[in-house]
Amino acid sequence: MVPSMVLLTGFTQYAAQGSSLLAMVPVGIVGAYTHWRLENVNTGILPGLIPGILLGTYLGGSLAHFMPEGALRIIFATVLIWTGVKYL
């Protein structure tokens, strides 16, 4: 979603990432509830995951605000490529 928002709509990298994250909130709630209801959630790992996710999200968003947009794009693209390669 982020690359499309940047390339097709003229959003800045900052606005595209922030808008994408905000758009995922309702979808994430519905998806999490559905998986929980279907018993596809290992609730035992949540206490270990949640603090790290909250801290990482806050720090990542805060640090991104101070980065040049070009650097943010390079980091974003690198993470996408790395994730894609590891997924194969």
User: In order along the chain (88 residues), what is the average pLDDT of each group of 10 residues?
Assistant: 93 94 96 97 94 94 91 93 95
CB 52 within 8 A of CB 1: no
Q: Of 69, 78, 79, which is closest to residue 14 (Cα–Cα)?
A: 69
**Which residue's structure tokens are 């900052």?**
14
**Single pTM value for the model:** 0.76
pLDDT in the model for residue 52? 96
